[in-house]
Amino acid sequence: MKSQSNIQSKKELIPDARWRDFGKHFLRLENSHDESASQDFYLEMYRFLGKVLGPERKTVYELKIKKEFKEKYGHSPKDRHQVRNAVKNSPFFQFWGHMRSNINQEMFYKNQLIVERQIKNLESKAKVRPKKNMGKLALNPDLKVPKYQSFDMHWMPGGYHTEISDKGDISAGALYDSGGIYLMTNGSLGPFNDGAAYSLINFLRKDLPHFKPKNILDLGCTVGHNTLPFKEFWPLAKVTGIDLGAPVLRYAHARSTKMGYAINYSQQNAEKTDFKNSSFDLVVSTMFLHETSKKAISKIFKETYRILKPGGLMVHVEQPPFRYFDDPYEQFVRDWDTHNNNEPFWGPMHDLDLNKIAYNSGFKKENIFEKMIPLIKPEVKNKFSKGVGEWFIFAGWKL
């Protein structure tokens, strides 16, 4: 194991995020004064739980819980599981966890009401007249949603795929783009929540300046937050986003088109796509792997290898694996979502040996790499403005 003292923890949030700075576009929800005020409240509550009470949890753990554990067992907690069992009966940890889970669910409930109030207007806005060279939308009504996606992921009602109506429903897309990510991350991903993509693009332009992909695939694209930047940075490239959910794809297609970007969207399972062999120069994902199962990741890697061109690159942007941290408490903090935020695959995914999975999928050991890259917080005038923290990337060349 290696210590990564420069890796930022979840409690280190950017302090100056404001609701009025959340990015506006033609399809975005319109909030009333009171609705915007409630969003500011949620933003402040996430900030308070992260920056104020977050460090106090560590203090309670170090001065009381860890000490009592050592007196009882003769050693300090050895891993995140022992830490979780040690703190589970602590009133302070119970209070923090209840507040954090409650604010997530309350925020989504409030945003769902905002969506429902204006869904007909949004559906009208989302209608896209077919235009030449403006990207296509391909849906598959027969696509089966895997069991690992059959629940409310991170408490978002209905997940990404649930359809409320049978006439071009976009409600799940509108809810996903209603500001939840912006609130939970304290705006650290930028006003349009596209910081993960720009962080990856920033790495590619600096470390691999000669790599200029012509055909790019984004896995698990949802509403296209992190799909659009690839088209913006490489305007001549063909960019495609795939996802399981039709509502998020309809919204993504309308959003990209209304913003002036020609991007193709297709309803597909990343485990097995309908793309031809050797189709893409670059296959990416951003915060996607932790929402799939171990078996699914193996299939996704194999499928990625199949559809990559020789000389093509696979890159997944995620949070770092637990082995990057020596401190069991830090691992526990980073594993909180697994047990409390409806993210059951978060912990198992961050325990996986991705190198082994990539090797078994066809990638040669010498062509596989992982590293931490700077977190970019895009601004309207500077898409590569540096933020606070780092991302973990796992990548492999097909050579």
Rounded Cα distance, 363 and 318, in Å: 19
DSSP tag of 320: P
The residue-averaged pLDDT of 66-85 equals: 98
Helix (H, G, I), strand (E, B) or coil at 256: helix
Percent of the chain at pLDDT > 90 equals 91
CB atoms within 10 A of CB 148: 15
Q: How confident is the model at residue 359 (pLDDT cuts 50, 70, 90)?
A: very high
The residue-averaged pLDDT of 252-270 equals: 97
Q: In what order do the strands lie in the sheet with 280-286?
A: 137-138, 264-267, 238-243, 215-219, 280-286, 308-318, 386-398, 368-376
Rounded Cα distance, 289 and 320, in Å: 12
Do 237 and 231 form a contact (C-beta atoms < 8 A)? yes
Q: Count how many Cα atoms sit within 13 Å of the Cα of residue 309 in the half-sphere of its side chain.
A: 11
Q: How confident is the model at residue 14 (pLDDT cuts 50, 70, 90)?
A: very low
Helix (H, G, I), strand (E, B) or coil at 201: helix
pLDDT digits (tens, 9 = 90+) for 122-141: 999 999 887 777 899 999 99
Angle at 305 between CA 219 and CA 201, to 5 degrees: 50
> In terms of DSSP bridges, do strands 280-286 and 308-318 run parallel, antiparallel, or are they unpaired?
parallel
DSSP tag of 335: T
State the pLDDT at residue 371: 98
With residue 238 as reference, give the H or E element that holds it.
strand 238-243
The residue-averaged pLDDT of 307-331 equals: 98
Q: How confident is the model at residue 383 (pLDDT cuts 50, 70, 90)?
A: very high
Do 39 and 33 form a contact (C-beta atoms < 8 A)? no
Identify which has the larger pLDDT, 332 or 164. Answer: 332
Helix (H, G, I), strand (E, B) or coil at 397: strand
Q: And the tokens for 259?
A: 């913003």
- To the question of pTM greater than 0.75 for the whole model, the response is yes
State the pLDDT at residue 6: 38
Q: How confident is the model at residue 165 (pLDDT cuts 50, 70, 90)?
A: confident
Tokens 């830090």 correspond to 330
State the pLDDT at residue 4: 37
Rounded Cα distance, 301 and 398, in Å: 11
The DSSP-derived string for 50-83 is IIIHHHHHHHHIIIIIHHHHHHHHSS---SHHHH
Rounded Cα distance, 338 and 361, in Å: 27
State the pLDDT at residue 189: 97
Q: How confident is the model at residue 16 (pLDDT cuts 50, 70, 90)?
A: low
Angle at 15 between CA 27 and CA 387, to 5 degrees: 75
The residue-averaged pLDDT of 349-368 equals: 98
Rounded Cα distance, 325 and 172, in Å: 35
Q: And the tokens for 122?
A: 């949004």
Helix (H, G, I), strand (E, B) or coil at 97: helix
State the pLDDT at residue 11: 41
Do 285 and 219 form a contact (C-beta atoms < 8 A)? yes
Does the pLDDT of residue 19 top 70, yes or no?
yes
Q: Provide the mean pLDDT of the chain.
A: 94
Rounded Cα distance, 266 and 279, in Å: 15
Do 215 and 279 form a contact (C-beta atoms < 8 A)? yes
> Which CATH architecture best describes the domain 19-398?
3-Layer(aba) Sandwich (3.40)
What residue ranges do the domains of the chain occupy? 19-398
State the pLDDT at residue 206: 98
Helix (H, G, I), strand (E, B) or coil at 388: strand
Does the pLDDT of residue 337 top 60, yes or no?
yes
Rounded Cα distance, 42 and 36, in Å: 10
State the pLDDT at residue 314: 99
Does the pLDDT of residue 15 top 60, yes or no?
no
Q: How confident is the model at residue 8 (pLDDT cuts 50, 70, 90)?
A: very low
Query: What angle do helix axes 91-126 and 246-258 make, rounded to 10 degrees?
Result: 60
State the pLDDT at residue 12: 45
Percent of the chain at pLDDT > 70 equals 96
Closest CA to 331 of 42, 142, 107, 58: 58
Does the pLDDT of residue 2 top 80, yes or no?
no
pLDDT digits (tens, 9 = 90+) for 34-55: 999 999 999 999 999 999 999 9
Does the pLDDT of residue 10 top 60, yes or no?
no
Query: What angle do helix axes 80-87 and 66-73 make, rounded to 10 degrees?
Result: 110
DSSP tag of 373: E
Q: Which amino acid is at 150?
A: S
Report CA Rg, the chain: 21
Q: How buried is residue 127: exposed, middle or buried, by Cβ count under 10 Å (0-12/13-18/19+)?
A: exposed
